[in-house]
Amino acid sequence: MSDNDQPASRLLATTMKILSTLILCITLLFSGCSQPPNFKSTDISGADWGKGFTLTDPQGQTRRLADFEGKVVIVFFGYTQCPDVCPTTLSSMREVLGRLGDNAGRVQVIFVTLDPARDTAQVLAEYARAFHPSFIGLRGDETAIAAVARDFKVFYARHAGSSPGSYSIDHSTGSYVFDPQGRLRLLVSHGETSANVAADLKLLLAGK
């Protein structure tokens, strides 16, 4: 190798090192970006069920999932005479909103009744507001409720009570979370802490 070739050789070696370092940095960057978010709740992103709903609010207006685009939406199925799971779940969701601070307005909690016979529009409105003024109760006739429950894979069954005409309803206890784009993302188990749920919602609000 001549003396004239040595500077060119050193320049080529330096350039190759720089390119190798740059490629490594880009690889690490995109590798980090592709990591899925570390949700506390069950990640059900990509589920081909739970596509949405068409139900009625206490004011008689038809409400659809698309009405809440831009917000994280939490959907829970229950009934107002539920003795335990429903009130504890809605109380927990109230705590979640409290943990979100200014972002609470970007979250919509929806309570879908599985008992339209007893949960009239007025009953449903008062029940939802008792937990938080922003909570919305939705209802439909028995056929509409059955269809939505089936689409969300919600189990529910009525059991006769001790007195004539009385009954209770066994039902699934999870809450379904949609991201601001209207995509079903999470299934929150009953009993999950409000801190964990709030952390998950912050990730969704950040576009994760």
- The binding site for Cu cation comprises 82, 86, 171
Q: Is 48 within 8 Å of 114 (Cβ atoms)?
A: no
Q: For residues 118 and 139, give the distance between their C-alpha atoms in angstroms, rounded to a whole number.
A: 11
In the structure encoding, which two tokens stand for residue 146, read together?
Answer: 């059955």
Q: Is 35 within 8 Å of 110 (Cβ atoms)?
A: no
Residue stretches of the annotated binding site: 82, 86, 171
Strands 167-171 and 184-188: unpaired
Nearest to 83 by CA among 188, 173, 146, 196: 173
